[in-house]
A and B are shown apart, each in its own frame.
Chain A
Amino acid sequence: MTDVITPAITGDGSRGSVAVEAPSHLHEEHGPTGLLKWLTSTDHKVIGMSYMITSIILFYVAGIMALVMRLQLAAPNASLVSFAQYNELFTMHGSLMLYLFAGPFAFGGLANYIVPLQVGAPDMAFPRLNALSYWLYLSGSITMMLGFLVAGGAAEFGWVAYAPLSNAANSPGLGPDVWIMALVLTGFSAIFTGVNLVATIFYLRAPGMTMFRMPIFTWNMLVTAILILIAFPVLTSALVMLFCDRHFGTHIFSVQGGGSPILWQNLFWFFGHPEVYILALPYFGIVTEIIPVFSRKPVFGYKGMVFATLSIAALSTGVWAHHMFTTGVVLLPFFSLLSLLIAVPTGIKFFNWIGTMWRGELQFSAAMLFCIGFLLAFLMGGVTGVMLASPPIDFFTHDTYFVVAHFHQVLFGTAVFAGFAGIYYWYPKFFGRMLRENLGKWHFWLMFIGFWVTFMPQYIVGLLGMPRRVAVYPSNLGWQSYNIISTVGAFIIAASFAILLWNFWVSWRHPIPCGDNPWDAHTLEWFTTSPPPHHNYTHLPPIRSERPTWDYHHPDAPAIPHGEGREPKRDKVLVSS
């Protein structure tokens, strides 16, 4: 292996790295190899990688569904797909992207791989439970896809499955049942991963790794895991209730039996809004890892950022009814105020990111470009999110393409821009080889252009009154041109993702070894080899800040502590590592 920076591996005692005491049998891998090894592995890195590969495959599948829908909408009365097929497509596109890609990619994939490394642990706290999580997730994902094969087709009630549209009378057939089963399976998978992450972060941190020395990514994963434990059990219970209504004659969500349809919306969004932050916080964490590394500075306002994350999580459990402003049965001022307030900690994060770049030495690697793309996308999604938090504005934008554009900018900004920033950033650690930077930049610029071309027209056509989830629309309202632009943008995005596949292929066929720490990064995972050995570490550096690897390689450039921000400038340190 070619090492850029070797002291870490040789364990140069004079620079303070300490050998990790581990039973010798843990250093080698015994037992099966090949497929059987993958099937029986409890290694967090193998499981994390399985999660990432599965979720990215599902991301591509859901993306193709989006392309079909965009083609259908390019003409007002197109008949590329039928009404029923269109309803199936957007239901499955949403379900795959939200339940099976964005969440599992982050907390099942990246967090699984990275969090134990970042806290200096040999594995997750419960390795077998971790394996169970993945297999539940995989079986749930397959179950979800099976919906297309059953009689009557997949579920057609949207990813939110509002009762009573989702009851047995309005949505007969096996498709909805398969959908419910899939979500129960992946819901348990998420809950187990949440438990595992919390236990790992609380109990397996290396000596010296105090809570306030944890990287922001790990902090965000802790908060995400707690949110999972708050939100997912509610969804799973609601799904069980829905299943009972469909099959066992209960009337929990039906008016006829004395039940309450609005109860489903309350339960669903009590899961659904924390879920939005379950999807967002990990990606904020990714961005907060990458921007400091490519600015060569510590995270600006580290502690403020931790508290901002905690307050986002706290607020996120009290804003669910902003999805229900037009139901007429929610306390508008309360939910409006709490929703508006979320802008404050989110704004703090923006200023933290900008403050980190301020007076840094910014290097625009592909990973960093994706982070800048995230900042711009999330800024636009955030500003329109504040508008939607105001009920009188929500009244005329709710369920229109304005909302579609808003949440795609937010979720695309996080799960796709930041998620793929994470791939470009950590890929060298996963495989010990680089992705091609020039292909990465092509990927970024195409996706960045495609993103704005796709979603900006949707804001406009939404304000003109185009509702979401429609397969056809009147031809005399001038909506078509906006839809055509949006469709073109979607195909530009698709082209960018073909480049990513090509990049994987090139890296696979013609590897460029990367060494342990190609980015001169800050956190612990860059101290070990790429890919890390079984059980992760043979040596650990002293952990005296949230940047142990940086401190190890740049002993002259520690972060400037509190209260010294206004000291006269020191001489800059020229480093040639």
Chain B
Amino acid sequence: MDPRPDGTRISAASADPAGPGRRTEAAGHDLRKRARRVLLALVVLAPIVLAGCQLPTFGAFRGATTQGQDAFKLWQGFFIAGLVVGGFVLVLIVWAVFRYRRRSDQVPRQTQYRPFIEVLYTVIPILIVAGLFVFTVITENEVDAVPSTKVTIDVTAFQWGWQFYYPATGKVVIGQTLQQPQMVLPVNEPVTIHLESADVFHGFYVPAFNFSRYAAPGYVNTFNFNVLHTGVYRGQCTQLCGLYHSLMLFSVKAVTPATFERWVHQTSGHQPTIGQLKNQIRANGPGA
């Protein structure tokens, strides 16, 4: 009985050492030469092509704030680095899989160490990582900078809604789940946000701004937005915060500074407190 399953023949004495699949030195040499030429062409052409056209977004938002644009540029850089490095490794894997599939029952050369190559594939990744780190730190410092600004907004997240408080005028916007409270801020002007939570951890996330930060119980997170274009941007809680986490929506409306001034000086009228809204949602469920 043949003890081996189909397709997994380990050794067969009948193997033909001069079979059609046998690779020759000359062919290998030729291939290597051609590969080197293609690689050279790529290295020379890539920067020209890249410089000549606008880089794609690679799926991310371009960033509606200056901070978001900085993060977006970093994303593009990382994406290209990932494409190059990942593509290189992918080519190696695919090449090995197709080039060295079993063609005979010969035992190949039992190479175990090539110190030069081993040093190479240790040092080059360290250099790449060092480069990525430098760009990371530069961008991080831009995104996280908090110069003092004219407009300040205190954002408080709670289960399951948001309160936006404008300390300069006492204006309050508050709403739970599908009511989608709207934060209003002036365009083309840095705005400081103080973010905290009334209960559990929440995530303050505006996708178009390429930014999110936890709303934490017990401490305040501070950051700046400098929105570049007027418009309404959707936001959502990203950190699991309990039953109605899925519905904890809000939006950000960027308006001209004049409009903002008018809006922020209008009295907000009677607004419920965070506690009242929490009780309301616990009793009646989420509302619009």
Chain B CB within 8 A of A372 CB:
yes
CA distance A246 to B136 in the complex (A): 40
The stretch from B40-48, B103-111, B254-262, B263-271 touching chain A is B103-111
Q: Chain A residues with Cβ under 8 A from B208's Cβ?
A: 465
Q: Chain B residues with Cβ under 8 A from A359's Cβ?
A: 100, 108-109, 111
Given A297-B108, A360-B108, A379-B89, the answer on whether A395 and B217 have CB atoms closer than 8 Å is no
B107 with A83: CB separation less than 8 A: no
B129 with A344: CB separation less than 8 A: yes
B190 to chain A, nearest CB (A): 17
Cross-chain contact of A576 among B105, B199, B223 (Cβ < 8 A): B105
B171 to chain A, nearest CB (A): 25
B86 with A383: CB separation less than 8 A: yes
A296 with B108: CB separation less than 8 A: yes
Chain B CB within 8 A of A23 CB:
no
B218 with A261: CB separation less than 8 A: yes
Chain B CB within 8 A of A188 CB:
no
Given A344-B125, A347-B125, A392-B139, the answer on whether A463 and B108 have CB atoms closer than 8 Å is no
B71 with A395: CB separation less than 8 A: yes
Q: Chain A residues with Cβ under 8 A from B96's Cβ?
A: 354, 357-358, 360, 362
Given A392-B70, A395-B143, the answer on whether A162 and B201 have CB atoms closer than 8 Å is yes
Q: Chain B residues with Cβ under 8 A from A299's Cβ?
A: 112
The stretch from B30-38, B147-155, B162-170, B232-240 touching chain A is B232-240
Chain B CB within 8 A of A559 CB:
yes
Chain A CB within 8 A of B126 CB:
yes
Cross-chain contact of A557 among B110, B140, B143, B241 (Cβ < 8 A): B110
B109 with A520: CB separation less than 8 A: no
Given A301-B113, A437-B6, the answer on whether A572 and B118 have CB atoms closer than 8 Å is no
Q: Chain A residues with Cβ under 8 A from B122's Cβ?
A: 304, 344, 348
Please report which residues of chain B, range 101-137, place their CB below 8 angstroms from some CB of chain A when the two chains form the complex: 101-115, 117-118, 121-122, 125-126, 129, 132-133, 136-137
Q: Chain B residues with Cβ under 8 A from A398's Cβ?
A: 203, 212, 238
Chain B CB within 8 A of A57 CB:
no
A260 with B109: CB separation less than 8 A: no
A68 to chain B, nearest CB (A): 16
B70, B125, B126, B199, most chain A CB atoms within 10 A: B125
Query: Per-position contact with A for B42-78: 1 when CB-CB < 8 Å, else 0?
Result: 0000000000000000011100000010110011001
Cross-chain contact of B238 among A170, A350, A391, A467 (Cβ < 8 A): A467
Chain B CB within 8 A of A56 CB:
no
Q: Chain A residues with Cβ under 8 A from B60's Cβ?
A: 396, 463
CA distance A519 to B132 in the complex (A): 43
Q: Chain A residues with Cβ under 8 A from B4's Cβ?
A: 4, 434, 514, 518
Chain B CB within 8 A of A34 CB:
no
Chain B CB within 8 A of A19 CB:
no
Chain A CB within 8 A of B205 CB:
yes
Given A336-B136, A357-B96, A392-B71, the answer on whether A559 and B112 have CB atoms closer than 8 Å is yes
B212 with A396: CB separation less than 8 A: yes
Given A165-B242, A386-B132, A575-B105, the answer on whether A393 and B75 have CB atoms closer than 8 Å is yes
B200 with A165: CB separation less than 8 A: yes
B96, B101, B125, B217, most chain A CB atoms within 10 A: B96
B195 to chain A, nearest CB (A): 8
Chain A CB within 8 A of B288 CB:
no
Closest to A167 in B: B200
Cross-chain contact of B246 among A434, A472, A560, A563 (Cβ < 8 A): A472
B100 with A362: CB separation less than 8 A: yes
CA distance A472 to B253 in the complex (A): 24
Q: Chain B residues with Cβ under 8 A from A393's Cβ?
A: 71, 74-75, 78
Please report which residues of chain A, range 347-406, place their CB below 8 angstroms from some CB of chain B when the two chains form the complex: 347-348, 350-351, 354-355, 357-365, 372, 375-376, 379-380, 382-384, 386-387, 390-393, 395-396, 398-400
CA distance A87 to B244 in the complex (A): 10
The SS class assigned to the B binding surface is: mixed
Chain A CB within 8 A of B17 CB:
yes
Given A395-B212, A575-B105, the answer on whether A559 and B110 have CB atoms closer than 8 Å is yes
A512 with B236: CB separation less than 8 A: no
A383 to chain B, nearest CB (A): 4
Cross-chain contact of B217 among A255, A328, A519 (Cβ < 8 A): A255
B236 with A467: CB separation less than 8 A: yes
CA distance A362 to B108 in the complex (A): 10
B287 to chain A, nearest CB (A): 14
CA distance A209 to B182 in the complex (A): 68
Chain B CB within 8 A of A326 CB:
yes
B6 to chain A, nearest CB (A): 6
A307 to chain B, nearest CB (A): 10
Closest to B121 in A: A351
B203 with A326: CB separation less than 8 A: yes
Chain B CB within 8 A of A30 CB:
no
Please report which residues of chain A, range 472-524, place their CB below 8 angstroms from some CB of chain B when the two chains form the complex: 472-474, 477, 512-515, 518-520
Query: Per-position contact with B for A96-136: 1 when CB-CB < 8 Å, else 0?
Result: 00000000000000000000000000000000000000000
Query: Per-position contact with B for A438-463: 1 when CB-CB < 8 Å, else 0?
Result: 10010000000000000000011001
Please report which residues of chain A, range 547-577, place their CB below 8 angstroms from some CB of chain B when the two chains form the complex: 554, 556-563, 565, 569-570, 572-577
Q: Chain A residues with Cβ under 8 A from B203's Cβ?
A: 326, 398-399, 467
A361 with B108: CB separation less than 8 A: yes
A470 with B245: CB separation less than 8 A: yes
A383, A563, A577, most chain B CB atoms within 10 A: A383
Given A297-B110, A332-B140, the answer on whether A162 and B200 have CB atoms closer than 8 Å is yes
CA distance A468 to B242 in the complex (A): 13
A384 with B82: CB separation less than 8 A: yes
B268 to chain A, nearest CB (A): 26
CA distance A262 to B245 in the complex (A): 20
CA distance A438 to B8 in the complex (A): 10
Chain A CB within 8 A of B39 CB:
no
Given A361-B100, A379-B90, the answer on whether A576 and B11 have CB atoms closer than 8 Å is yes
Q: Chain A residues with Cβ under 8 A from B140's Cβ?
A: 332-333, 336, 391-392
Q: Chain B residues with Cβ under 8 A from A382's Cβ?
A: 86
Query: 16 interchain pairs (CB within 8 A)?
Result: A2-B3, A83-B246, A162-B201, A297-B109, A297-B110, A347-B121, A364-B101, A379-B89, A386-B82, A398-B203, A465-B236, A467-B205, A514-B4, A556-B107, A559-B111, A560-B113
B-to-A contact residues, CB < 8 Å? 1, 3-8, 10-13, 17, 59-61, 68, 70-71, 74-75, 78-79, 81-82, 85-86, 89-90, 92-93, 96-97, 100-115, 117-118, 121-122, 125-126, 129, 132-133, 136-137, 139-140, 143-144, 159, 199-201, 203, 205, 207-214, 216-219, 221, 223, 234, 236-247, 249
What are the 3 closest A-B residue pairs judged by CB atoms, nearest first? A465-B207, A399-B238, A470-B246
A-to-B contact residues, CB < 8 Å? 2, 4, 83-84, 86-87, 156-158, 162, 164-165, 170, 255, 260-262, 295-304, 326-329, 332-333, 336-337, 340-341, 343-344, 347-348, 350-351, 354-355, 357-365, 372, 375-376, 379-380, 382-384, 386-387, 390-393, 395-396, 398-400, 434-438, 441, 459-460, 463-465, 467-474, 477, 512-515, 518-520, 554, 556-563, 565, 569-570, 572-577
Beyond the given pairs A383-B86, A390-B139, 17 more chain A to chain B contacts, judged by CB atoms under 8 angstroms and listed by A's residue number, are A255-B217, A261-B216, A328-B216, A337-B133, A355-B117, A358-B100, A359-B109, A361-B107, A386-B82, A395-B211, A396-B71, A398-B238, A460-B59, A470-B246, A557-B107, A559-B110, A575-B106
